Structures are given as C-alpha cells and as structure tokens.
Structure 1
Amino acid sequence: MVETQQGDERQRDIPPPPSWLDKGLIQQALCNGGEENLQVAALDVTLPIPSGENYSSTIYRAKATLTDGQHRSFIVKGPSPGATLANMSSEGGVFQREAELLGTLIPQMQALLEDAAPGRFPPLAPRCYHHGTSPVEFLVLEDLTPAGFKMANRKRGLGLRHSLLALRTLARFHAASHALLRRQPELAEKLGNTWRAMYNTMETFVKGEMGAAAEACRSWPGCEDYADRLDKFKVVAIDKFTELNDAKPGAFNVITHGDYWVNNMMFRYEEGELKEFRAVDLQMSHAASPAIDLIYFLSSSVSDLIHEHHQDLLLREYHWELKETLELLGLQAPSLEALLSAVDVHGPCSLYGVISRPVLKAEKGLDVSAVYGGDHSCLVPVYELPDVKKWMQRVLREYVRKGWLPA
C-alpha cells in the first residue's frame, strides 16, 4: 500500500538518499529507455511519500539534470527501512513480482492490445526503466507527475466518473492478462498467490485489523453481534482469503492487480476534465479471479454514496468493457451472470477491504508497523470515528445478509 498527498512537495527534514541511488543508476535507466547518448550531470533525490505511509517500500523521486541542460524525473522504489516491513517484502518477493509485471508482462499485454486495436488503448501502468537486486532490490519507474498525473482524494473516495475510468482500465488489464495467460499458461503458477507467499505476515495484520474493528463494534449499542462475528471470523479469515485468491483450474482467471485501491491509481486532467488513468504499485499481483480486484476496489476506494447506490452500475460497466476488449482479442468473456456469481463467491474477501478502508482513509497516514507485530491498539480510534461507525454498521449489516460475514 502506498499513501501520499496530492501534489504535496513540501520541504521535509529528510535523511540523505542511499548510496546506491546515484548518477550511475539513473544513467543506466536512461540507456534502457533508449537515451544512451544523454549524460547525467547532477541528481536531486527527494522523498515524495511521507515516512510511514508506504508500507513495504521506500519511494524516492530522482530528478536528473543532463549535461545538455535537459531534465528527467524518475520514481525509484527501494526496501523499507523497517525490519518487519523489509521481511514482508522479502517474504512475498514483491519487488521481483512488480519488476516482472512492469518490465515484462505488462509490455506484452500492451502489445496484445495494440495489435488488436492500434491506437485505441492508452498505457495501463508506468514504464519500468531499470530494476535489479544488487546492492538492494530496486525499481526505476516513469514519474507520472510531470505529465500531470495525480492521486485522487483517498479520504473522500472516488466518485462515479473516476470509478468508471478505473474499472474500464481494470477490465482492459484483465482482458489482456487473460489473453496472456492463455498463451503462457505457466504464468499462473509463476505468479503464485501472494496471500500464500505472505501468509504469516498477513495473518497477523488481518487479525489485528479485525480485532480492532470488533473492539469498536462491541462498544456500539446493537452491534455486539457484528463484534462476535468478526472475532470468530478473524481466526479463519487468512485461510479463507488465501483460498479465494487461488487461481482455479478451468475458471476465468486473469492477472490481478492485487491491491487495487485509490492510492494505487493516478489520474490526469485537462482543464478540469478527467482524461487518463494509470495503475501503480503492482507488488501484490497474481493469477486469480477478476472478482478479487473488483470487490477490493468497491469496498476500499469508492465514496460511501457510490458504494451504497451504484455498485451494480459499476460492475455492469466493467463487464461491458471486459467483453468488448476480449472480443477484440478474439476471446470470449464470461457472462454478466457468471461474473456476478464470482463476485458473490469471492465476497468474503471484501471484508479485508471493509476493515482496511477506515485505516486507508484516516486523516493522517498511519504507521502500521506495530500491527504487523501483533499490536492493533493504534487502529481502534480510527474505527470509532462517527463517519466510520455509520459506514461500517451499514456494510456489516449488508454482509451478514449476504452471508459474507458468517455467524
């Protein structure tokens, strides 16, 4: 997960950049991008992401001044300084996974889309210029901000226009990835379930979030049943989530984004009009049902109004775009009924989005390192906020009705 503030480049008292993030690294990125004749004269490295708000990596912005006076800007991802989060990154192999996606698989997916409909489909994600594992794991990516991309307001949640654009792009991503899996079926195993890879760490975190949510529910009159259900479900939640994130043989599988929420999305505007979209942070990607991304997005990222009244519309629009794109690729999409059935089957996974949403939308980014160590006390006050209380009561009531939060 990555959190930041829109366009906020305020000066911060930050430590010097790591020694490995030097002119040589950026010079190699330029060469990989086809600009081998350009030379880096100076490099300015900043931390655009506040400390504690990106949980499994550290994000740097590297602005290079070239010998001919031109400038280039890159986003560089390195390991988290925290031992727990560094172990989480290593346990899940998230750097290698994102490097594989951005460096190899997404360019292949983009090529499939371009061959099917030249000029129709914009890029799905930022370009990867360089990646490696020595002296540390790192990624050098396209910096989208100079082109005018920025994040939406995570506290408010996405409105209808932003939600539709995000889901249409997700449908294209899923369609192209399904076509790639058809051509390279071995990818399903290679992109193994990240929930299985990160089982131990995620078990502690999920139990912590559910425990904090249950503690809050127990203090709300009439919500004791929700607390009992959450306390009971947290014991088996990690196993349920892990099982549902497996790619099922013979099912309609795609390469999921894996962490499709508002702060992993960049939007570009022209004169106030929404124009383009890019998905970022693909560390949790794996082969699974498309329902995994859909339910996490709907439960974590859309505004309360959209979540309450327009989920059906969003799912129908997603399906329409998926069907259209797959037809261009010479493939057939599952029916709308089959898609909605998959959403229902995978519905319990959206509880992860439900319990994470208040944390993701907290007024200030939370340093959740302690939660990975088993201490969820920092989360309880977040669930006690009045708007969170109102939202969770409505959603948990709905999930009990649907059977997603069993007794």
Structure 2
Amino acid sequence: MLRENMFLKMLSKEFLTELLGEPVREYSLSTGSNQGDNIAGNLYAVKVRIQNRGIHHIVFKTPPYGNPTHCTYVKGWRVFDLENRFYGFLVPELKALYKSRRGAEADLDLPVPRYFGGNSNFVALEDLRSLGFKMADKYQGLSFPEVRLVMQCLGKLHASTYSYIKEHGEKIFAQKENHVFNSYPIRNHYMPDIDTVTENAYSSIYINGIELLSRKHEILGEKLKKYAPIPHERMLAVYEQTDKRYFPVISHGDIWVNNLMFKYETVVKNGHLVEEAQECIMVDFQQSRRENIFGDLLYFMYTITTPEFRKEFLAPSLNAYYETFVEVAGQFKTPVPIGFTKGWLFEEFLRNVPNIFASMPFAISLQLGDFGVLGRPIKSPSPVGEDDLEMELPWEGCYANLIILCRTLLEHSPLAMARLEAVALEMDEMGAFDSELLH
C-alpha cells in the first residue's frame, strides 16, 4: 500500500483536471515501478478517466523524500527542473524546427514519452506500459535487435539536437532556464562550491572498485591505479572534449536498461518462436546535458553489453547509430559535421574507450548491484512533514553514503563484480591501461 507523501496530498480530481485540461471523472492509483528500480525518484501510476469516457495512463515521478541521500542529490542538482525542461521546452522546439524544414504537416517522431507537465516536485508522463512497452531484464543483457533500436534512438536524439544547436547557436544555453543543460555529474553549474566534494566522492568510488578488483587481479589493480591517479579527471575526459574535438549535442546522459522501454512481437527465427524488440523509447532525462555523442555511446555500450557482445556487434551497432544520425540530419536539412564518417566514428569511439572505465565502478554497482544486500528491503517513503522537506543532508554526508552504497553493492553482488572484472580484463587486453592519460 502506498504511504502518504507530499504528492499523494496534492493528488486530486482538481489537480488532474488542471494538468490535463479536461474534466476528470475518476482516477485510481498504483505503484509505477518495481521496488529497487529507481533511486532518483518515486514512481506512481495514475489511471484517469475523463468525462468523455476517455482514459489517460500517467506516470508521476516525484523526489525520493524517504531517502535523505537521494533526495539531497535530486534537489541539489535540480534534476526535476532539467527533466521538465527537456520535455517541456526542448522537445517542442525540436518538433517546431522539424516542421519549419519539412512542412507544417511533418511531425518529428522522437523516441520519448508524451509529456503532460511538471515542476520541481514532479514530472508527469504517459505510462508506456499501457501501450505494450516494458523494460528488458537488466541482469540478462540486451540482444542485438534491442541494442540496434537503442542506437537508432540515440542517433535520432543526437542528430535532432545537433541540428537545433546549429540553427540557434549557443544563445539557447545562455538562457537562464536552460542553464540546467550545462552541468555534468561531477560539475554542478548551480553549486560549484561542492565540486571538490563531488570529485573526491567519485574518485573514492573508483578507488574502492579497484581495491576490490585487486584482490583477484593484483597486477591489473596496479595498472588501474596508474591509469587513473586522479580518477575524476578520467571521468571528465570525454565530456571536456566537446567543442575542442567533437561537435555538441544534447545527450541523454544516463542511457541504460532501466531508462529504456521496449515493445516486443513474437517472430519466427530458425524455426522457433521468439520475442523480438520492435520499438524502443527512451525515458528519464534527468541527466541530459550539452556534451558530445561519445558520452552516451560509450556509457551505454560498456555498462549494458558484454565483452562477447561487443566483439561481435560493436561495429554493426555503431553503423546503426551512424546511419540514423545521417538520415535524421538530412531530414532537418542540416549538413553532417565535416569528417563525420563511419570510419571516424569507429576510430574515435575506440580512442575514448580507456576513459570510460573510470566511471564503471559507480555505474555498474548501481545498475547491477543487488540492493537486497543492504540489509533491509527498499520501501516506499514514510510520511514526510512539511518541515522535513526543507531539511537537507550535508553534501559530505550525502556523498559518504553514496561511497558506502557503491562499495557494498559491488562487494556483495557477484553479477556486478563479474561485469566490472570482465570490462577491466577486456580493456587490459586492448592495452587501454598501458597508455598515458588522454587529452
């Protein structure tokens, strides 16, 4: 049963009527996700029947008020402001530019859910499950048909936002409301005073991961220490090449299994009936930002796919991305960047592979870690009073909790540790840890 919090106090027919712009007859409420699937928000599913007997299926995302660590992060980094700005401002702007280039009847089919509205305390989106979409199994890994769809989604997002930036220039990021697109997880545009604390925290998470790997691979552990003597610099290396080496786009920023929804159909393959993904939609744009294409591409390929998958399907996956980018840029009538070829894409991807490992202990621990090892089940938030909402966990305490969380999940989650080990061994075989820090 859902416990009361500020969203539940706010939820009413009047609130839903104002949000939808249609009179609401009745509504029902249920949980919007499985326990442990989300740490940056609580999800509630609301089925709304309007007076003309139509039905809306809506997912409301709210801050995780029951968890001080996560709530401090969500509020301090303004992730709900960012996500609302993505859906409420950027998506309509992209569609408007598309119409201006293609004609009034043209509609840009962005792979994102329908947006109803929101503010700093909630985001309201269409519940994709009512349309037959579902998440893939994060523990199993994605198939090539699924990865190909994700690459096409990223190609469409990146090409659309590249075209938009080319059309409007950097003035869009100078607007106060769009400052939210200028932050990176280690560099907060709104709170630069906590940058050092943040850098130290992410560096500590990396060092803990290497210490755990060193228990089994002593020589590899020594290489990994030398590879990233200042871990946060490695984490920023890809991001900071934007404008210097790579053209800017708006990235998703956190592209992994739980932020993807797939629709499947039964098809015949090799004489057997199998479920194969036919459509993909990206969700959760709380980390979207102005950066280059390799942030999304590297993060996705090295957290979600296995070494075996990459050996067979890396080139076809990047080809799917490239072909979609070129096609969509052409629809916008925007020339692709000079030198942007399949060969260049593949070479630059491989060039940046060493940099992405510094983020793996953090990403893999939270994505594949077994939250059951924390010693207590993950619960819905307890009731929160008005005064409690104004309280913030000090950033030192917030990050101390995050460091402990990531280490505990890695140390006691065999699947997460095995994935980190596999990535490290693969990159070591590539010689990624034998070179000096890339610039």
Q: TM-score, normalised by structure 1?
A: 0.83
2:344 maps to: 338
Match of 1:109 among 88, 94, 97: 94
Question: Is contact 1:359-1:382 (8 Å) kept?
Answer: no
Letter in 1 for 2:56: R
Unaligned runs of 5+ in 1: 1-12
Give 1:345-384 correspondences, 5 Å limit: 345-352=351-358, 354-355=360-361, 356-357=363-364, 359-362=366-369, 372-375=401-404, 376-382=407-413
**What secondary structure does 2:334 align onto?**
coil
Counterpart CA distance in 1 for 2:417 and 2:235 is 28
Quickly say closer, same or farther: Cα 1:156–1:319, change in 2 above 3 A. same
Q: CA deviation at 1:303?
A: 4.2
More deviation, 305-314/168-177: 305-314
- Higher relative contact order, chain-length normalized (CA < 8 Å, sep 6+): 2
Counterpart CA distance in 2 for 1:22 and 1:231 is 54
Counterpart CA distance in 1 for 2:80 and 2:420 is 36
2:15 maps to: 25
More deviation, 198-207/60-69: 198-207
Quickly say closer, same or farther: Cα 1:83–1:160, change in 2 above 3 A. same
The question of 1:182 aligning with 2:166 is answered yes
**What secondary structure does 1:206 align onto?**
helix
Question: Is contact 2:152-2:324 (8 Å) kept?
Answer: yes
Match of 2:61 among 70, 77, 101: 77
More deviation, 384-393/277-286: 384-393
Q: CA deviation at 1:281?
A: 0.4
Identity %: 20
Letter in 2 for 1:338: W
Q: How many residues align?
A: 384
Question: Is contact 1:192-1:287 (8 Å) kept?
Answer: yes
The question of 1:215 aligning with 2:218 is answered no
More deviation, 199-208/365-374: 365-374
**What secondary structure does 2:345 align onto?**
helix
Counterpart CA distance in 1 for 2:254 and 2:420 is 24
Unaligned runs of 5+ in 2: 267-274, 379-397
What is the CA RMSD across the aligned residues, in angstroms?
3.1
The question of 1:236 aligning with 2:230 is answered yes
Question: Is contact 1:201-1:372 (8 Å) kept?
Answer: no
Question: Is contact 1:73-1:142 (8 Å) kept?
Answer: yes
More deviation, 194-203/145-154: 194-203
Give 1:34-183 correspondences, 5 Å limit: 36=22, 39-81=23-65, 82-113=67-98, 122-133=109-120, 137-183=121-167
Question: Is contact 2:45-2:60 (8 Å) kept?
Answer: yes
**What secondary structure does 2:91 align onto?**
helix
Counterpart CA distance in 2 for 1:127 and 1:402 is 43
Counterpart CA distance in 2 for 1:83 and 1:290 is 33
Q: CA deviation at 1:149?
A: 0.8
Counterpart CA distance in 2 for 1:394 and 1:103 is 43
Q: CA deviation at 1:325?
A: 1.9
Counterpart CA distance in 1 for 2:107 and 2:90 is 19
More deviation, 192-201/139-148: 192-201
The question of 1:225 aligning with 2:232 is answered no
The question of 1:245 aligning with 2:239 is answered yes
Counterpart CA distance in 1 for 2:300 and 2:259 is 11
Question: Is contact 1:188-1:286 (8 Å) kept?
Answer: no
Quickly say closer, same or farther: Cα 1:159–1:218, change in 2 above 3 A. same
Q: CA deviation at 1:206?
A: 2.9
Render the CA deviation track for 1:262-283: whole Å, top value 9, x for unaligned: 1111111244453221110011
Q: TM-score, normalised by structure 2?
A: 0.77
Quickly say closer, same or farther: Cα 1:116–1:19, change in 2 above 3 A. same
**What secondary structure does 1:401 align onto?**
coil
Q: CA deviation at 1:234?
A: 6.0
Counterpart CA distance in 2 for 1:344 and 1:72 is 45
Match of 2:252 among 252, 257, 262: 257
Quickly say closer, same or farther: Cα 1:372–1:400, change in 2 above 3 A. farther
1:292 maps to: 295
1:267 maps to: 262
Question: Is contact 2:368-2:416 (8 Å) kept?
Answer: no
